[in-house]
Structure 1
């Protein structure tokens, strides 16, 4: 994962009580429409604007339904977070109890799945409905660390009156999003919350570090799964004529025969056996194998893709979606590849390597670097990007989804 700047809610050297009073004045001005005495942090200001658009009352919030026991257990099973729960507890519970905090784990939909830590703080949290099964999305409870981290896709600490709903002003919380390393999918967020008087700038760094350890554990488990699949794939491919590969269910390549090395292939969002078109390889035949897919490259053409969508609305997490008659494929691309695709989308007639180098680096002399990046990109997207000059294929509709303007 890319390094993320961690911005603590309490400025270094600031007096917590005075800072809380300043935030309270700022919050009061923001919710009453008066002139702001100062500016909120950018992540908080953006959150307040979203919350106002959702119609959240700063005094009462919104009525919130809490999941029943069966619904909660179902979400826990489906979240993908249960395997890392022992690591999260081991890394955070001891500190949470010592520092009068509670550890909270929410799923990608913002529902609190688990809550552990200080008994006294849990009782206090009960008083504001901060309980297992509650919906912590911004549109439900306003600005809060786990709910806002899910939207901002970055670690965030929220202190005192940075919370939009006044009932939460006595709290401080720090949360980090947790992703599935197999496909970059957001699994949820991990949070430490406690009374505002316990605020500490290092809490955010600790939560972020433990969350990254949890992602590392998931990555290690995935590598083990790939290794086990490789034990099946290598002998299986020896019996298959022509070019072929074996992937797991997420498109990670366990072994390949007759193909240039690559890490992953973008599979259709609804993968099924039979003939289909893949961005990197064209017409292919998919056959299910234990733990994944055997993919054979075949002659003949399936209908090519008709639409390419580059989504850059979430900073640092560009997503490419390719769709057509044969299905839809979605994969994360690197920020550098997103920049290349953005320039090509802006110049449908194409750009030379020197022109791309100038657009990306401000220097036309780095054409060699551009050619290398284009080569890596085409191993992912195949014939979607063509050369001489570099451009999107002529038959494609290309759409770029940019961040919406802040109201």
Structure 2
């Protein structure tokens, strides 16, 4: 909150919580007096910033109690955090956002957080010291930081305001958050204008700086630009696979990515995007836009054909062939009712697919795979990132919690005749053990 005599930032620009040259300690004291007066219903010595005042009014009107708002906990509805990350549409740019905000985390006083459109925390990164402090507030992956859950904060309030927000000290509605400052900016889908989530920088209140708001907002805009380019390229790749298949097929069909965006179409008035079920897999499904359809997985998407009345298509199984005979170019071939396609896979993905085949149908947890690949069960973040990429490539064929091949999928693995030649460049403990066995 600027001092009463300060000139307000134009409403078209994000407004920092403090102005350059302000004393954060004195400003926090003023804010505390304003907060206490507002919460007790007495006359305040100054007026909070409009974005904070609006947030407080919403919460008080809903009967929220700043002393009794529950400590945030992971959402029990989230049973597969990796799936939620993929569904958010932000997993493609998480590395860029983290790197773009590296300057504010190098000193170990701040953390970078990315939340989805509902305010649920999907990623965190930062020093163990600050992450430990965040843990005590429930500022953890899977927890909701929507306004209605924890009060005024840069994630939830940015989602409501639709613009970048900086929240300092006693501007937080919940008293236990007054020792923190946070800065968040919404990230929009450039194709639809819809908010996908929020990128946030949080840390102790003393770390506040007015330029952090502009930096976080700029990183959000760069993420939007990057998402637009990533989407264009992914549709181009999907089109190169799908177009020849559509040309050979009889009947009406369409190829879409994991989010329903159309890459190629033949005989269907689909528009630019189809609505897909939350849970989708090979076989027959009822789509809101097209009715009963037969689905076949493509690399990064789906081939969808209007269902035949006899239902034969849905009864034909999809086969995943993992070819590990080449030590340089391991590949996967997917054979379905509507055709087949082949792609090379990275050495890491080849290792994972082999390990999942060994442990089918039960599958492996992130910790299991971390131990298999690195000999360190704690490296689950790296495993989840790799699984997110693999599941995007093999749409609907690999499930999560635990990671496993979907039920009904026929899996075939081709390995060298000499076990010593199995993924010979791999140093993963489980692969080395398989070579010896």
Asked whether the equivalents of residues 180 and 203 of structure 2 are also in contact (C-alpha less than 8 Å), the reply is yes
CA–CA separation in structure 2 for the residues paired with 1:268 and 1:115: 30
Pair 1:184–1:77, CA change in 2 (3 A): farther
Residue 18 (str. 1) matches residue 41 (str. 2): no
- How far residue 122 of structure 1 moved from its aligned partner, in angstroms, is 3.0
Change (3 A) 1:164 1:265: same
Is 2:238 the counterpart of 1:229?
yes
Q: Which residue of 1 is the match for residue 274 of structure 2?
A: 267
The answer to whether structure 1 residue 43 and structure 2 residue 22 are counterparts is no
Task: Sort the Cα spacing of 1:196 and 1:227 in 2 relative to 1 into closer, same or farther, 3 A.
Answer: same
TM-score (norm. length: structure 2)? 0.54
Question: Partner residue of 1:88?
Answer: 97
**C-alpha distance in structure 2 between counterparts of 1:236 and 1:87, whole Å:** 35
Identify the residue that residue 220 of structure 1 maps to in structure 2.
229
Q: Deviations over 1:336-394 (max 9, x none)?
A: xxxxxxxxxxxxxxxxxxxxxxxxxxxxxxxxxxxxxxxxxxxxxxxxxxxxxxxxxxx
2:123 aligned with 1:100 = no
- In structure 2, the partner of 1:157 is 166
Tell me the residue number matched to 2:123: 114
What secondary structure sits across from 1:191 in the alignment?
strand
> How far off its partner does 1:229 sit?
2.3
Q: Distance in 1 between matches of 2:210 and 2:202?
A: 13
TM (norm. structure 1) is 0.58
- What's the counterpart of residue 193 of structure 1? 202
Q: Deviations over 1:11-53 (max 9, x none)?
A: 3443323332332222122111123433322221121122223
SS at match of 1:192: strand
How far apart, in 2, do the equivalents of 1:251 and 1:167 lie?
42
1:237-262: CA deviations, max 9, x gaps?
556799986554545443467999x9
- Looking at structure 2, the residues matched to 229 and 138 of structure 1 have their Cα atoms a distance apart, in angstroms, of 39
Contact 1:93 1:117 in 2 (8 A): no
CA contact (8 A) 1:100 1:118 kept: yes
Distance (whole Å) between structure 2 residues aligned to residue 240 and residue 117 of structure 1: 51
1:161-310 mapped onto 2 (5 Å cutoff) = 161-181=170-190, 184-236=193-245, 238=247, 247-248=256-257, 250-255=259-264, 265-268=272-275, 288=295, 290=298, 291-292=301-302
Where in structure 2 are the equivalents of 1:112-151 lying within 5 Å? 112-151=121-160
Question: Aligned to 1:100, what secondary structure does the other structure show?
Answer: coil
Q: Secondary structure at the match of 2:101?
A: helix
TM superposition shift of 1:156: 0.9
Structure-2 change in CA distance of 1:31 and 1:276 (3 Å): closer
In the TM superposition, what is the alpha-carbon distance from 1:101 to its structure 2 partner? 1.2
How many angstroms apart in 2 are the aligned matches of 1:84 and 1:266?
22
How many residues are paired up? 285
Q: 1-side partners of 2:292 and 2:142: how far apart?
A: 43
